[in-house]
Amino acid sequence: MSPEANNGKLPVDRALTEGRAPERSAEEIPELHEVDCPPELRERIEQLMSRYPDRRSASIPALWAVQERYGWCTPEGIRQAAAVMRFTPGELESVASFYDLLHTDPVGTHRIEVCTNISCWMRGGDELLDAFRAAGEGEDVFVTGFECLGACDIAPMASIDQRYYGPLEAAEAATAIEQLRAGGEVLPEKALAKRPLAADLPGAGTPPAAGGSDG
Protein backbone atom coordinates (compact mmCIF):
# COMPACT_ATOMS: atom_id res chain seq x y z
CA MET A 1 0.00 0.00 0.00
CA SER A 2 1.40 3.36 -0.90
CA PRO A 3 1.60 6.11 1.75
CA GLU A 4 -0.92 8.10 -0.32
CA ALA A 5 -3.49 5.27 -0.43
CA ASN A 6 -2.94 4.78 3.27
CA ASN A 7 -3.63 8.47 3.99
CA GLY A 8 -0.55 8.34 6.16
CA LYS A 9 -2.53 6.77 9.01
CA LEU A 10 -0.95 3.36 9.26
CA PRO A 11 2.71 2.46 9.33
CA VAL A 12 3.78 1.37 5.88
CA ASP A 13 5.86 -1.75 5.50
CA ARG A 14 8.61 -0.36 3.34
CA ALA A 15 9.87 -3.87 2.61
CA LEU A 16 6.59 -4.60 0.82
CA THR A 17 6.42 -1.32 -1.02
CA GLU A 18 9.80 0.07 -1.95
CA GLY A 19 11.88 -2.79 -0.56
CA ARG A 20 14.99 -2.16 1.46
CA ALA A 21 17.16 -1.58 -1.55
CA PRO A 22 19.37 1.47 -1.31
CA GLU A 23 19.13 4.00 -4.09
CA ARG A 24 21.52 3.13 -6.85
CA SER A 25 22.21 4.59 -10.21
CA ALA A 26 22.30 2.35 -13.24
CA GLU A 27 25.78 3.64 -14.11
CA GLU A 28 27.17 2.07 -10.95
CA ILE A 29 26.02 -1.40 -12.00
CA PRO A 30 28.61 -3.11 -14.18
CA GLU A 31 27.37 -4.52 -17.46
CA LEU A 32 27.96 -8.20 -18.13
CA HIS A 33 30.08 -7.40 -21.17
CA GLU A 34 32.36 -5.30 -18.95
CA VAL A 35 33.22 -8.19 -16.66
CA ASP A 36 34.70 -11.49 -17.63
CA CYS A 37 32.29 -13.65 -15.67
CA PRO A 38 32.94 -17.37 -16.17
CA PRO A 39 29.78 -18.98 -17.61
CA GLU A 40 29.56 -21.55 -14.78
CA LEU A 41 29.66 -18.81 -12.16
CA ARG A 42 27.02 -16.80 -13.98
CA GLU A 43 24.81 -19.85 -14.33
CA ARG A 44 25.18 -20.71 -10.67
CA ILE A 45 24.32 -17.17 -9.52
CA GLU A 46 21.30 -17.03 -11.83
CA GLN A 47 20.15 -20.37 -10.49
CA LEU A 48 20.55 -19.09 -6.92
CA MET A 49 18.57 -15.95 -7.73
CA SER A 50 15.75 -18.02 -9.15
CA ARG A 51 15.16 -19.54 -5.71
CA TYR A 52 14.06 -16.28 -4.14
CA PRO A 53 11.31 -13.78 -4.88
CA ASP A 54 13.79 -10.98 -4.17
CA ARG A 55 17.15 -11.48 -5.85
CA ARG A 56 18.79 -9.65 -2.95
CA SER A 57 18.19 -12.78 -0.87
CA ALA A 58 20.69 -14.61 -3.06
CA SER A 59 23.51 -12.21 -2.14
CA ILE A 60 25.19 -14.46 0.45
CA PRO A 61 25.05 -17.69 -1.59
CA ALA A 62 26.20 -15.78 -4.67
CA LEU A 63 29.17 -14.40 -2.76
CA TRP A 64 29.86 -17.88 -1.46
CA ALA A 65 29.94 -19.07 -5.07
CA VAL A 66 32.44 -16.29 -5.86
CA GLN A 67 34.56 -17.35 -2.89
CA GLU A 68 34.50 -20.99 -3.94
CA ARG A 69 35.60 -19.98 -7.41
CA TYR A 70 38.44 -17.63 -6.48
CA GLY A 71 39.33 -18.66 -2.92
CA TRP A 72 38.07 -15.33 -1.57
CA CYS A 73 35.68 -12.57 -2.59
CA THR A 74 38.00 -10.82 -5.01
CA PRO A 75 37.04 -7.33 -6.23
CA GLU A 76 36.68 -8.71 -9.75
CA GLY A 77 34.58 -11.66 -8.53
CA ILE A 78 32.31 -9.23 -6.71
CA ARG A 79 31.98 -7.13 -9.88
CA GLN A 80 31.05 -10.24 -11.82
CA ALA A 81 28.37 -11.20 -9.30
CA ALA A 82 27.13 -7.62 -9.23
CA ALA A 83 26.78 -7.59 -13.02
CA VAL A 84 24.77 -10.82 -12.96
CA MET A 85 22.59 -9.72 -10.06
CA ARG A 86 22.16 -6.11 -11.29
CA PHE A 87 23.58 -4.64 -8.08
CA THR A 88 26.43 -2.27 -7.54
CA PRO A 89 29.70 -3.89 -6.43
CA GLY A 90 29.49 -1.75 -3.29
CA GLU A 91 26.22 -3.42 -2.25
CA LEU A 92 27.75 -6.89 -2.47
CA GLU A 93 30.99 -5.70 -0.90
CA SER A 94 29.04 -4.49 2.14
CA VAL A 95 27.50 -7.96 2.53
CA ALA A 96 30.83 -9.75 2.02
CA SER A 97 32.62 -7.57 4.57
CA PHE A 98 29.90 -8.17 7.19
CA TYR A 99 30.10 -11.96 7.40
CA ASP A 100 33.07 -13.72 8.96
CA LEU A 101 32.87 -16.67 6.61
CA LEU A 102 33.17 -14.46 3.56
CA HIS A 103 36.68 -13.15 2.97
CA THR A 104 37.42 -9.86 1.27
CA ASP A 105 41.17 -10.41 1.52
CA PRO A 106 43.23 -13.32 0.23
CA VAL A 107 43.32 -16.29 2.56
CA GLY A 108 45.12 -19.60 2.32
CA THR A 109 43.95 -22.52 0.26
CA HIS A 110 42.84 -24.24 3.45
CA ARG A 111 40.68 -22.66 6.13
CA ILE A 112 40.58 -23.73 9.73
CA GLU A 113 38.14 -22.22 12.21
CA VAL A 114 38.76 -23.24 15.80
CA CYS A 115 35.85 -22.77 18.15
CA THR A 116 36.70 -20.84 21.30
CA ASN A 117 33.18 -20.45 22.63
CA ILE A 118 32.19 -21.67 26.07
CA SER A 119 31.99 -25.47 25.65
CA CYS A 120 35.13 -25.64 23.55
CA TRP A 121 36.94 -23.04 25.66
CA MET A 122 36.29 -25.09 28.82
CA ARG A 123 37.83 -28.11 27.12
CA GLY A 124 40.94 -26.39 25.79
CA GLY A 125 39.71 -24.43 22.76
CA ASP A 126 42.24 -21.62 23.29
CA GLU A 127 45.15 -24.06 23.45
CA LEU A 128 43.82 -25.80 20.35
CA LEU A 129 43.70 -22.48 18.49
CA ASP A 130 47.28 -21.68 19.56
CA ALA A 131 48.39 -25.12 18.40
CA PHE A 132 46.76 -24.68 14.98
CA ARG A 133 48.24 -21.20 14.63
CA ALA A 134 51.71 -22.49 15.44
CA ALA A 135 51.38 -25.51 13.14
CA GLY A 136 49.94 -23.39 10.32
CA GLU A 137 52.70 -20.77 10.48
CA GLY A 138 54.20 -20.33 7.02
CA GLU A 139 51.72 -22.78 5.48
CA ASP A 140 49.03 -22.09 2.92
CA VAL A 141 46.47 -22.24 5.69
CA PHE A 142 44.20 -19.60 7.20
CA VAL A 143 43.61 -20.20 10.90
CA THR A 144 41.17 -18.21 12.97
CA GLY A 145 39.23 -18.46 16.20
CA PHE A 146 35.48 -18.64 15.85
CA GLU A 147 32.34 -18.44 17.93
CA CYS A 148 30.19 -21.52 18.57
CA LEU A 149 30.07 -23.65 15.44
CA GLY A 150 27.09 -25.60 16.72
CA ALA A 151 28.92 -28.84 17.46
CA CYS A 152 29.43 -28.42 21.22
CA ASP A 153 29.05 -32.17 21.80
CA ILE A 154 32.45 -32.74 20.15
CA ALA A 155 34.22 -29.92 22.01
CA PRO A 156 36.89 -28.82 21.56
CA MET A 157 36.37 -28.82 17.85
CA ALA A 158 37.44 -27.14 14.65
CA SER A 159 36.13 -26.75 11.14
CA ILE A 160 38.77 -27.70 8.59
CA ASP A 161 37.84 -26.84 5.02
CA GLN A 162 34.18 -26.81 6.08
CA ARG A 163 34.24 -30.21 7.73
CA TYR A 164 33.90 -30.65 11.45
CA TYR A 165 36.43 -32.49 13.64
CA GLY A 166 36.46 -33.18 17.36
CA PRO A 167 37.04 -33.69 20.16
CA LEU A 168 40.57 -32.59 19.27
CA GLU A 169 43.81 -32.64 21.20
CA ALA A 170 46.22 -29.74 20.73
CA ALA A 171 48.84 -32.24 19.58
CA GLU A 172 46.61 -33.23 16.65
CA ALA A 173 46.87 -29.77 15.09
CA ALA A 174 50.29 -30.49 13.61
CA THR A 175 49.05 -33.84 12.27
CA ALA A 176 46.06 -32.18 10.61
CA ILE A 177 48.24 -29.52 8.94
CA GLU A 178 50.66 -32.18 7.75
CA GLN A 179 47.79 -34.19 6.27
CA LEU A 180 46.43 -31.08 4.54
CA ARG A 181 49.84 -30.37 3.08
CA ALA A 182 50.11 -33.95 1.83
CA GLY A 183 46.64 -33.75 0.31
CA GLY A 184 45.53 -36.74 2.35
CA GLU A 185 42.54 -37.42 4.52
CA VAL A 186 42.45 -35.27 7.64
CA LEU A 187 42.07 -36.89 11.08
CA PRO A 188 39.61 -39.54 9.85
CA GLU A 189 39.01 -40.84 13.37
CA LYS A 190 37.91 -37.36 14.48
CA ALA A 191 35.70 -36.48 11.53
CA LEU A 192 32.13 -35.73 12.49
CA ALA A 193 31.01 -37.07 9.12
CA LYS A 194 32.39 -40.49 10.05
CA ARG A 195 30.60 -40.76 13.37
CA PRO A 196 27.87 -43.38 13.47
CA LEU A 197 24.36 -42.03 13.51
CA ALA A 198 22.47 -42.48 16.77
CA ALA A 199 20.02 -44.68 14.88
CA ASP A 200 22.86 -47.02 13.93
CA LEU A 201 24.22 -47.51 17.47
CA PRO A 202 23.67 -50.85 19.18
CA GLY A 203 20.35 -50.90 21.00
CA ALA A 204 18.98 -47.91 19.11
CA GLY A 205 15.26 -48.17 18.60
CA THR A 206 14.87 -50.74 21.39
CA PRO A 207 12.15 -49.54 23.74
CA PRO A 208 13.16 -49.32 27.43
CA ALA A 209 12.24 -52.34 29.53
CA ALA A 210 8.86 -52.03 31.25
CA GLY A 211 8.92 -51.34 34.96
CA GLY A 212 12.24 -49.48 35.34
CA SER A 213 14.55 -49.71 38.30
CA ASP A 214 13.13 -47.03 40.60
CA GLY A 215 9.85 -48.67 41.40
Query: Before 167, cis peptide (omega within 30)?
Result: yes
Pattern of binders to ligand FES over 135-154, x per CB under 6 A? -------------xxxxx--
What are the strands of the beta sheet with 163-165, ordered from one edge? Answer: 141-146, 110-115, 158-160, 163-165
Restricting to residues 102-131, name those near ligand FES by CB under 6 A: 115, 117-120
CB closer to ligand FES out of 117 and 179? 117
- 181 DSSP assignment: H
Q: Which is nearer to ligand FES, 35 or 151 (by Cβ)?
A: 151
Using CB under 6 A, which residues numbered 149 to 188 contact ligand FES? Answer: 149-152, 155, 157
Q: How far, in Å, CA of 188 to CA of 150, rounded?
A: 20
User: β-strands 141-146, 163-165: how paired?
Assistant: unpaired
Contact yes or no for 45/89 (Cβ under 8 A) = no
CB of 196 to ligand FES, least distance (A): 20
87 or 121: CB nearest ligand FES: 121
Q: Which residues bind ligand FES (CB under 6 A)?
A: 115, 117-120, 148-152, 155, 157
